[in-house]
Structure 1
């Protein structure tokens, strides 16, 4: 009842033509838009202090909390891991190996298929970037070779999590083995923002996948591919060629 009365009052203030309602509405709007007359120099100083404190806190938690926790979950780890933005969510019986000089967003998800006799394996090479909100679902094996770049909101779907049959899904049964496959990203591959790679796909070295693409079949080396499903758009020149 009180909420209804409050809403009615708000509507009356906004829509009424009565002079009192108009005056009250103008005063309330001015109150909501009130701001302190702070000099620009002081605002910049406050913002600089905020950025400094935020960076200090982020660095401290990364070095002494998130990174040690993450390393405790790895089967093999290289040197100079840069884990930023928190701790990735890891689920399932997943074996994870990471090489040297990798950068991994803490806002990412790594999962391993649980309905399998063999342990799923995620193998990450050297100098690899894994961006914000990336999900890597390992059905059997996902290999990310050296110098691969994976932009934000990318999905590597090595297994779907549910069977194709509706009755089996309703019963809570897992996916079938035919829905599961390896994903191989060879050296120097770049997956742009929002790319999805499905099970059983290999992307050849140096290839680039355009943003928002869905890769359902193998992509050869040194090409630009894109679309749904992804197709080769053109060949890429080797490094050093003009």
Structure 2
């Protein structure tokens, strides 16, 4: 009720033709848009100080809090592990193995299929980057080989979480085994921003998947692929794949 009255008052002030109301509205806008002076000789060092304190706090929490907690959950992890920006969300009966020199965003999600007959496994090789807001849903197994780069907002969907049948879905039943599959990213693969990879897909070594693509079938080695669904655009030369 109070919100409705406030919105009505705001619209009345904004749209009224009365000179006094217009004057009041102009004064209110001036007050609301007020900005303090920002001299560079003062604000530049203050900003540098803010960045220093922010990075110091982030490094401290990563070393003494986020990384030890994360290592306590995974089954095997190499060194060094750069876990930046917090602690990934992990759910389900998921086995996680991570190689050496990996960088993983704390704003990522790893899930394992809870109705699987055997424990789902996420196997990450050496020198792998997993970017911001990436979700890896492991139905049976997801393998991310050495030197793979996964940009932000990627989705590796090894299982969908719901069955295709509407009645079964309404009753809260899990997906069927036919909807589940392994995902294999071979060495040197690069998934650009917003790429989705569905169950049962293998992407060959050195291949690049363009931003926003949805990969629904196997992609050969050393190609640039893109689109919905993703198709091979062109072959990559060896120097391009390095």
Structure 1 and Structure 2 fold alike (TM over 0.5): yes
Structure 1 range deviating more: 160-169 or 33-42: 33-42
Structure 1 range deviating more: 213-222 or 45-54: 45-54
Q: CA deviation at 1:201?
A: 0.6
Q: Provide closer, same or farther for how the CA distance between residues 195 and 28 of structure 1 changes in structure 2, counting only shifts above 3 A.
A: same
Q: Provide closer, same or farther for how the CA distance between residues 36 and 96 of structure 1 changes in structure 2, counting only shifts above 3 A.
A: same
Structure 1 range deviating more: 17-26 or 72-81: 17-26
Runs of 4+ in 1 over 6 A off after TM superposition: none
Q: Secondary structure at the match of 1:103?
A: strand
Which residue matches 1:78?
78
CA distance in 1, matches of 2:8, 2:169: 47
Runs of at least 5 residues in structure 1 that lack an aligned partner in the other structure: none
CA distance in 2, matches of 1:94, 1:133: 19
Q: CA deviation at 1:3?
A: 4.2
Q: CA deviation at 1:171?
A: 1.2
CA distance in 1, matches of 2:199, 2:4: 53
Q: How many pairs were matched up?
A: 241
CA distance in 1, matches of 2:2, 2:227: 53
Runs of at least 5 residues in structure 2 that lack an aligned partner in the other structure: none
Q: Provide closer, same or farther for how the CA distance between residues 240 and 167 of structure 1 changes in structure 2, counting only shifts above 3 A.
A: closer
TM-score using structure 2 length: 0.96
TM-score using structure 1 length: 0.96
CA distance in 2, matches of 1:156, 1:223: 19
CA distance in 2, matches of 1:48, 1:194: 32
**Cα RMSD over matched residues?**
1.4
Q: How does 1:168-183 map to 2 (within 5 A)?
A: 168-183=168-183
Q: Secondary structure at the match of 1:159?
A: coil
Which residue matches 1:30?
30
Which residue matches 1:204?
204
Q: CA deviation at 1:7?
A: 3.2
CA distance in 1, matches of 2:2, 2:143: 59
Q: Secondary structure at the match of 2:238?
A: coil
CA distance in 2, matches of 1:141, 1:2: 53
Which residue matches 1:145?
145
